[in-house]
Amino acid sequence: MTTTVASSSVASRDHSPSGQRVSWLRLMHVALIQHRAALITIFVAFVTLVIAIVIGRDAVSASYASYLAAGCTLAHPIDLQVCANTANQYADIPSFTPLVIALRLFPLVIGAFVGAPLVAREMESGTYRFAWTQGVGRTRLVLVTLAMLTLIVTPVAVVLGFLLGGWYIHPYAVINIAVGSHWQSGLFTTTWWMTPVWTLFALTLGTLVGAVVKRTVAAIATTMVIVGGVLLAVGLYLTRIFDIGAVASSRIFLNGMNSGPLSILASHGQGPAGSWLARAWYTGPGGHVLGIKAANRVSLHVNSLFESKGGASLAPRWLALHHYTYWVSYQPADHFWILQTVVGLVLLAVASLCVLGTVRIIQHSRS
Amino acid sequence: MNVVESFGLGVSYRGTWALRDCTLAVPEGHIVALVGSNGAGKTTLLHCAVGLTAPTTGEVTVLGGIGAGLPDALERVAFVAQETPLYRHITVRAMLTVAANMNQHFDRNLAEARLATLDIPLDRRIGRLSGGQQAQLALALALARRPDLLVLDEPLARLDPLARHEVMAVVMSAVAEEGLSVIFSSHVVSELERVADYLILMSHGRIQMVGMIDDLLSKHVVLSGPTDDAERVAELFAVVQSQHAGRQTQFVARIDASVEFPKDWVAENISLDELVLAYLREPSATAMSGPLAVSANRAGR
C-alpha cells in the first residue's frame, strides 16, 4: 500500500533550530503547578512532624532540666538514686517511640503519596497524551519533576533528621546513652543523612511502581507494601548490617554471656567506649564455632558462675580451662558514619536504578 | 514534503495487530480526514505519528523525515487527543502556563485571544468547563504552539452540532491563516466533506483507501441497471460494492475514463458518505491514488 502525491510548498513556522530546548526552570514551574497536591502532602507531613518533635522535646527538656538541677551527668552522677530516677523517668516519656516511628514512616508517606501518583495519575487520567506530546518530551518532563520533588523533599528530610536525631534526642543521649544511642535501629535509620536517603529511595521506588502499575490507588498500595517491607526488613536485619566491618574481640565479658545478636551499647568497660556490640558466639577447643545448642549449654554454665561469688573472674577462668572462647563483635564508635554512608549509598544506588527503570518504562510506554 | 510517512508500519498489542503493513505518504498543506470504523486503527496510527506509540514493525516519520516522537518532531507537531485530556484540577490560566512552559514556542497571546473570542474564562477550573469548551481549549493550546502539523483524534466526538461547527471553524481559520497541515480522525463523514480535501480510510488495522477527495469522488460512480446484465457489467468495472433489489442492481464502482457506460445503465455521481460506506462494507476493497495501480477486489470473488 503506497501513496505518493506531489507535495505543495507551505512555509514552515519559525521554530527554533534543533538543540534549543525548554529551560529547566520553566519545566520546574510546570511541575510546581502539576504536583501541587504532592507538595501539600510534603508540607503537611513536615509541619506535623516538626510540631510533634517540638512538643515532645518540651517534655524531654523538663526532665532534662531536673536531671541537671540534681547535679547529675552521665560521667559524674552525684546522687545515684536521684539520677537513676530521672533517667527512668526519661524512658517513660511517651513521645520517643511514636516520633521515631513517625520519622521512619515519613519516607513511606512520600513514596506512596508523592512518588506513586507521579506517573500513575497521568496514565490513569490520560493526561500523558497531552504531557508527552509537548515540545519538552516525556523523559525530560519526568526527570525534571523528579528533580524538583527531590530538591524539595531532601532539605525537608534533612531538617527532620536533624531535629529528631540531634536536637530532640540529645538529652536522652546525655542521661541514658543506651536509650538515646544513634546505633539503635530506630535512630540509625532516622539521622539527618538516612532520613533523606530513605525518602529519595521511597520517592523513586514509588514513581517506578506507578509507571509499572499505571493505576494510582494500586500504585499507592503497592508502594506502601514494598517500602514498608524494606523498612521492616532493614529494622529486623540491622544486626546483619552491623556485621559488616565489625571488629571481633575475645576480651569482652558481658554479664549475661549469651550468644547471638546483642545490639547493645558498650558500657562499664565492656568494650570500647561508644562502640555498639553486634553479636556474640563461642568457639570450642578446635577453634570451631559452637552450634546453638552447644553454645547455650556453655552459656548457661558460665552465667551460673557469674551468679556465684567472684563469678567475674571465675567465668573467664572456666572458659580458658575448657578451651572455650567467648567472642564479641562490635562496631567501634568511628564506624558509625562509615556504615551510614555505606547503607545510604546502597539505597541511593537502588534509587538511581528506580529512576532508570522509570525512564525506560516511560520511553517504551505504549498508549 | 510529506507531513507523515510510514513504511510497513505495524503495531501489535500482546499478539493482536492494531495496525498492520501501513505504508503511506501524506503530502503537506492538506486537511486530511482519517476515517474508519471502531477499532480500525485510526488512533493507533495517529499515536504513532505523534510519538506516543512505538511501532512494532516498520517506521513512521513526520515533516519530511523526522522520526516521530523525536524532540524536533515534538516541537513542530501538535496533538489533541481523543476526549481532550487536560489537567482538570487546574484553571485555564494555569493550563496556559503549563503549555507555555512545556514548549519552546508558544504564543500565549494567540491562545488567550482565541479563548476570549470563545468566552472561555481563564479563572475557571478546567473540570468545570463544558465538553465543547474543553475541546476548544485543547485546540487553542495546540494552535498556540504554531505547529507545522496539527493532529486531532476524534475532536468532534463528544460535541453537539453547534460546538462541532465552531471547532471546525477554528481549524479552518487556522489553516487559512497559517497554512498548517491537519490530520483528523472522525466518524462524522458528512462534516468531513466540508473541510477535508484528503482522505485516508482505514479498516481492520490496514489502510483501505487514500487520496485527494475530489480525485476519489471523480473516479467512483454509482451504477444502476438490470440485474440480468449485472454479471457482464461487473466484469467491465472495478466493483467495490453491489446491491441487488429485485430486477435492479446497483454498483459502487471505480471507473476508468476510457470505459463507456453500458446501455440501459445509469451512472450517478457518488457522495463522500456513499463512497466511504461502500468501502467500509467491503474491507478487502482498496483504492490508492498515486503511482500504484488501484485495485478493487470484492470479498468472496
pLDDT digits (tens, 9 = 90+) for B139-194: 999 999 999 999 999 887 777 888 888 888 888 888 888 889 999 998 777 777 77
Mean pLDDT is lowest, of A62-66, A190-194, B54-58, B110-114, for A62-66
Residue B35 C-alpha from the chain's centroid: 5
The answer to whether the CB of B227 falls within 8 A of the CB of B244 is yes
Do residues A143 and B99 lie in contact, with contact meaning Cβ atoms separated by under 8 Å?
no
A-facing residues of B in 224-283 (CB < 8 A) are none
Note the pLDDT of residue A76: 56
Note whether B56 contacts A: Cβ–Cβ < 8 A. no
State residue A311's pLDDT score: 61
As given in the structure block, the three cell numbers for residue B50 are 505523534
- Give residue for cell 453537539: B160
Amino acid identity at A349: A
Chain B contact for A17 (CB, 8 A cutoff): no
- For residue A78, pLDDT over 80 is answered with no
- The percent of residues above 90 in pLDDT, for chain A, comes to 34
Q: Would you place residue B294 in the very low, low, confident or very high pLDDT band (cuts 50, 70, 90)? A: very low
What is residue A239's predicted lDDT score, i.e. its pLDDT? 76
- Among B59-73, B193-207, B255-269, the range scoring the smallest mean pLDDT is B255-269
Q: What angle do CA A328, A330, A332 make, to 5 degrees?
A: 145
Lowest mean pLDDT among A28-37, A91-100, A152-161, A326-335: A91-100
Report the SS3 class of residue B150.
strand
Least confident piece of the model among A47-51, A211-215, B133-137, B171-175: B171-175
Label residue A91 by pLDDT band (50, 70, 90). Answer: low
Q: B201, B209 in Cβ contact below 8 A?
A: yes
Per-residue model confidence as pLDDT tens digits over B15-29: 889 999 899 999 988
Length of chain A: 367
A101: pLDDT strictly greater than 70: yes
Contact A3 B289 (CB under 8 A): yes
Task: Look at residues A19, A36, A18 and name the one whose alpha carbon lies nearest to residue A145.
Answer: A36
Q: Any idea where the domains of chain A sit in the sequence?
A: 24-236+336-363, 247-331
ipTM of the modeled complex? 0.88
Nearest to A126 among B28, B85, B89 (CB): B85
Label residue A75 by pLDDT band (50, 70, 90).
low
Q: Which of A63, A46, A153 is nearest to A102 (CA)?
A: A46
Are B224 and B249 contacting, i.e. CB atoms less than 8 angstroms apart? yes
Q: Distance from CA of residue A221 to its chain's centroid?
A: 20
Task: Please check whether residue A366 touches B, CB under 8 A.
Answer: yes
Please tell me whether the overall predicted TM-score, pTM, comes out greater than 0.90 for this model.
no
CB of B90 within 8 Å of a chain A CB? The answer is yes
Mean pLDDT estimate for chain B: 86
Residue B298 pLDDT: 32
B212 touching A (Cβ < 8 Å): yes
The answer to whether A7 contacts B29, with C-beta atoms less than 8 Å apart, is: yes
